[in-house]
């Protein structure tokens, strides 16, 4: 692996994903360049041949078609050799009848160091981190879990879809979207930033273009 940026530690939302060349179970991959024009989810796991990680990989694979339908690829990562990844994939196929189709990065520790994935007090194992990266190579979402808690893959699917809707339509999503307790699957129009805009919002609501609880809380169907 080479060409890592000098910056170390947890990156910030909106940062460019660090450029790096990594060895994976599918050969060498250039990040984020090889995924230009696509979203991708890079997720780290503590180690191969561990119980929680195994359930996570099965869950990710079972939703892989849904991620690809969102123009989104998956990339796994742990500080294990590529040979361990391959044998683990074989074990999952033989024992769980699930074939892992996405690549897994074989990290020497440099990727984990660059992205801030090493969990203090846990040796060289990585945390369960998730990076959602957009087609321009920008980090849009980051999630960090302790080793003891497996991730919810449906939530990761939800946030990828939600960010895509936000980008395409210039809207925000309410809590638990698309099953919000108040608005259902409706989306929120960003709050007005001037008196004129606030009045325009209320006028449009009166015309039925969207609905408002007040000038600062307006929503519409997609």
Q: Which residues are catalytic?
A: 53
Strands 39-44 and 72-78: parallel
Q: 104 - beta bridge partners?
A: 76
Spatial CA neighbour of 12 closest among 105, 116, 108: 116
Cβ atoms < 10 Å from Cβ of 201: 21
What's the rounded Cα separation, in Å, for the pair 143 and 149?
A: 12
Provide the token pair at 73. Answer: 């690829």
- Backbone phi and psi for residue 175, each to the nearest 5 degrees, phi listed first: -55, 140
């Amino acid at each position: 692996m080479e060409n890592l940026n000098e910056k170390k530690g947890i990156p910030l939302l909106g940062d460019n994903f660090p450029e790096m060349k990594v060895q994976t179970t599918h050969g060498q991959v250039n990040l984020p360049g090889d995924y230009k024009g696509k979203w991708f989810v890079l997720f780290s796991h503590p180690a191969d041949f561990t119980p929680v990680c195994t359930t996570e990989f099965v869950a990710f694979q079972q939703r892989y078609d849904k991620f690809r339908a969102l123009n989104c690829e998956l990339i796994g990562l742990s500080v294990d050799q590529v040979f361990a990844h391959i044998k683990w994939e074989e074990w999952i196929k033989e024992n769980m009848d699930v074939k892992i189709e996405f690549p897994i990065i074989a990290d020497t520790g440099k990727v984990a160091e660059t992205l801030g994935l090493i969990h203090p007090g846990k040796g060289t194992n990585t945390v369960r981190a998730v990076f959602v990266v957009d087609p321009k190579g920008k980090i849009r979402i980051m999630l960090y879990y302790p080793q003891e808690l497996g991730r919810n893959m449906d939530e990761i699917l939800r946030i990828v879809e939600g960010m895509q809707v936000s980008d395409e339509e210039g809207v925000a999503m309410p809590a638990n979207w698309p099953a919000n307790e108040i608005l259902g699957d409706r989306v929120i129009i960003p709050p007005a930033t001037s008196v004129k805009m606030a009045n325009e919002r209320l006028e449009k609501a009166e015309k039925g273009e969207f609905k408002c609880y007040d000038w600062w809380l307006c929503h519409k169907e997609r």
